[in-house]
Structure 1
């Protein structure tokens, strides 16, 4: 090896040790690596159909694309891909110790995460400026990356939980049962609700129910996020400002599950007025 080559090698080693240098991927656990997505990789991930894109309602599409024009899931996937931004060395340098901290917290557990977690940064315009996950990807809006570490770390762990649960059905069922939810077939919504459903990419399906005591009567219900009105692009509101959370009462007849109606309208329960709901879930949700 020539002296110039040796000098260059030493320089590379020194650069790699410099505090400002950041890797493209960082180990989270012995089995899982977090990869900082390039723009191309992030766009490909967000343009790939999945449970979320197959569950989108008219309200989902209109509110995220901020229009009342006829739009499709493909339009939203394309728009989402266009929001992907590159990770800077500064971004990666900030996130690496957060990932290492989470890794230390996970070390004593055998957590069956996918081998690769894709970390994507976006403008946030595609999902109300909120963090979310899709398949094996965690998506942070740009503003989240600017959060202090103590604020960003629990958000990252929250999204990793959803990645974990989406890849492990048996584990997901066990965890959901802790707070009273059990699996059921996907609930088909009547049109009056279907067009106004607000889909959470972290949990896009309506396929877990909870048993409730409502005025001494046994009721089965699924959690439903929805809007009481159609999206209006002229009002300047995001979908979060339309969002209502109710418990949609369902009933089972053998293998058939259907929405319960009263006065020809779907029966919706206010969770705040349903003590048996909070007795089971505790403080698991802020809805």
Structure 2
């Protein structure tokens, strides 16, 4: 079945969707995106994703082209049209297509933003086998630009990082800057030591994860101590447990870092518990 997608006000079959070759996302990576998970046909943490979208657009001085109600309506229509029970809704907003290539930003009065949304069907999204066996990660240098808090579409280095991990027989990579872990290629990184969950504090250095915010709130409610500070790869290798969080992976245990197994090499109790309570809470609050 051909997917129905959304492009600039129209719902279209995916093979009829077109974007200008002069769109600034294509030429300059001048755009932002969000990915919202769908479980049981409902949107997970939608309000958080919409708030972060607004922030990303504001930081790049791109006008938000739609209201909250319009964004929600489009998401719901795509979920229904494509029969998504478990999966993802991807949205992208760019500075638009001015009709030619230029480094200077076009006049927003004559060049409206480009808006694209599509779904990805992921049956059993919350029952990933990786959650039972855990992930292996490697470390790589973090050479991205300095505004990682803006969720832009410039994802070349994260893609390269995932390929480095694949070639090394691992599942993902953690990025390291000045000897300290920033985050994963497409996720936030955590270690567990005793009753402490340790993760890097918010700044321009990392993405302000929507899942991260929920996980830390739930961890505190579960009487875990949350410590927001950087950590090294060596410290992570000596931790009791480690895990990552993202909108599509939820909470995923990490069992090996740069070839060193954590604990007994199996997912730990804290990681499993955080995944369980996160999914439970998200299902309760889904819309």
* TM superposition score normalised by structure 1: 0.28
Q: TM-score, normalised by structure 2?
A: 0.28
> Which structure carries more strand by proportion?
2
Structure with bigger helix share is 1
Larger Rg: 1
